[in-house]
Structure 1
Amino acid sequence: MMEFVDIAGLVEGASKGEGMGNQFLAHIRNASVVLHVLRCFDDEDVVHIKGGVDPLRDREIVDTELLLADMESVQRRLEKMKKKRHAEKEKEYRCMEEILTHLEKGEALRSFSFPEDLVWMQRDFFSAKPVLYICNVSENMTDYERAHVQDLKKQLGDTERVLELAGKLEADIAALNDAEERSLFLKEMRIQEPGLNKLIREAYGLLGLGTFFTAGVNETRAWSFTQGSWALDAADLIHSDFKKGFICADVYHYEDLMEHPSEKELKAAGKIRREGKEYLVRDGDIIFFRWNL
């Protein structure tokens, strides 16, 4: 299960405890991915704490505070390691020095190459966490908003992920509890799917997760898996007996099902494949496991 946590806003000086800084940083520390919502819409009825809309400034404030918090953490750890220098910790110490140099250049640790045997250190740093920047735009995005989004994408380059989302519209969609009513609303607004679906997919991607499906007579179920998993790993997610008695897996993709909406048609089109235990599971696969104990 993926849990979203709404964290209080961050102000300059949070790394030193200003505002709700310490509480904010504690929440961030427990997160696997940071979703940073940036206001790009202009509405005089919605006051901005800084007095005007500037997503580049807002991004820099948060990213800088996370960077400063990491620098302070590294400096403290280096001081402690200097007092008790051990040969077995020398590589870790050198890595810490390189991390500090990287941070002092204003670079987030997402772009730092951790040694393979020290990759566990990533979890200790705020700026090493993957980030999805969410541009909060209006229902009908204006040229003003579009310019803000383009400026942000230009500044971030190809190394960071950016998603445009109309927050107010998404709130209206989420408030519709009736599935038929929601579907009608989306059709009227000419929206193929809620933006929340796109957000979940992006978050899944940053977490390195995917989804495969199992389908039976009485139940169809979605399973989250780590990208790069074999069919044997996927079988184990369902039940350890599936892994122990694994024979093979019949696999087809949901896109094939959209084109050939029955098992008979899928077979006729040659879309159902028989795969072994080392088959790399794809996001969107539909799998029938054959096993015996």
Structure 2
Amino acid sequence: MALKCGIVGLPNVGKSTLFNCLSSAKAQAANFPFCTIEPNVGVITVPDERLTKLAEIVHPGRIVPATCEIVDIAGLVKGASKGEGLGNKFLGNIRETDAIIHVLRCFDDDNITHVDGTIDPVRDKEIIDTELQLKDLETIEARLGKQQKVAQAGNKDAKVEVGVLEAYKAALEQGKNARTVEFDSKEEQEAARNLFLLTAKPVLYVCNVDETAAKTGNEYSKRIEDIAKEEGAETLVIAGKTEEDIAGLETYEDKKMFLDELGLEESGVNRLIKKAYSLLNLETFITAGEMEVKAWTYHKGWKAPQCAGVIHTDFEKGFIRAEVIKYADYIQYGSEAAVREAGKLGIEGKEYVVQDGDIMHFRFNV
């Protein structure tokens, strides 16, 4: 399952620094706009302590965590929707992602220039929102005229799409993002999905603060949190420069000591990856054996046969049943055999809704 999160923001807000921490790839972090022109892509692993715990019991040949692609998209500027600052190219890169990580500068530093001269994350957020909304309006207006003609000729699908387009147009013209519009019927939801609007993508606002605000945030980040709450969006406070220092430490013990000094339980990067994963409504089931302990990504709410298909399409086609062990039971009893003996191994059929952390074994026949 190829998943992509795009990191966006104005130039010099800390996007590339954050990307460097997230990924082993190194984006150029320079103090002037458009130093990131081609998007940098990094494959990152989703932190999951459960895999390590299971590996201590199973002693597998390898541990395979879930992964997610992060794309560092060059800094957008005012006028991007009209092609300013290579805008069209950047907006095209955003269109290809599943979710947006919107980085906002919430720190003061005279040595790092701001493209608009002053620090105001609310204004910065509005600039990016406006550019994405204008691009979406352009997409909608180009499509609406054509679909109205098809709908007038009696095409039912076109009628549904015209309704969706008009609802989106009304919201965008009021300065709202497409994700604030909800549709009731499956046909409308399908039509909405097929438009691939930029502002319909789920968003996580990342407030990039200085080290002193790493734990509690600051006045800048609190303003963003208030706005995000109104939107029903998620926020995360991260100290980008501090994350860079943590990423540079060699051992787990050194990183842990550094975090303890800051009063943090987990690095911001780990929290960000987990939030991005849940932002896409994703969960993990696990397979555990002598060869490997592996995390598999699936969409929340999927049933056992769909999850079997994540491993191999034949597993879904010939699905017979799933043998399921709850993670807590595996840890408590210490082996699959002991779980069976305790009567804690579930035999589940086609209607079983897989739960995050389920340890699965599929029986199939093709």
TM range (shorter): 0.7 to 0.9
Pairing 1:1-293 to 2, within 5 Å after superposition: 1-81=67-147, 85-88=152-155, 89-114=158-183, 115-118=185-188, 119-122=190-193, 123-141=195-213, 145-157=217-229, 159-179=232-252, 181-183=254-256, 185-187=258-260, 189-243=262-316, 244=318, 246-253=320-327, 255=328, 260=332, 262-263=334-335, 267=339, 272-277=344-349, 278-290=351-363
Are residues 73 and 269 of structure 1, via their aligned partners in 2, closer, same or farther at CA, if it must alter by over 3 Å?
same
SS of corresponding position for 1:70:
helix
List per-residue Cα deviations over 1:224-268 (Å, max 9, x = no partner): 111111122222322345442533313212x5556x372389749
8 A contact 2:330–2:339 mirrored in 1: no
| CA distance in structure 2 between the partners assigned to 1:286 and 1:7 by the alignment | 36
Q: Given the superposition, is the C-alpha separation of residues 250 and 76 from structure 1 closer, same or farther in structure 2, using an over 3 Å criterion?
A: closer
* Offset, 1:44: 2.0
CA 1:289–1:181 in 2, change beyond 3 Å: closer, same or farther? farther
- Deviations 1:99-123, CA, capped at 9 Å, x for gaps: 2112112221101124421323334
Comparing both chains, which one has the higher relative contact order based on Cα–Cα distances under 8 Å and sequence gaps of 6 or more?
2
Aligned-residue sequence identity (percent) comes to 39
Residue 292 to residue 21, structure 1, CA distance change in 2 (3 Å): closer
CA RMSD of aligned residues (A): 2.9
- 1:147, 1:157 → 2: CA distance? 16
> How has the CA–CA distance of structure 1 residues 275 and 106 changed in structure 2, closer, same or farther, with 3 Å as cutoff?
farther
Matched positions, count: 291
- 1:167 Cα deviation (Å)? 1.1
TM-score (normalizing by structure 1):
0.86
Give 1:214 shift: 1.0
Instruction: Supply the AA of the counterpart residue of 1:9.
Output: G
Paired residue type of 2:308: A
Q: Where does the alignment leave 5 or more consecutive residues of structure 2 unmatched? A: 1-66
TM-score (norm 2): 0.70
Unaligned segments of structure 1, at least 5 residues? none
Q: Aligned in 2, Cα 1:49/1:256: closer, same or farther, shift over 3 Å? A: farther
- Distance change >3 Å, CA 161–CA 144, structure 1 → 2: closer
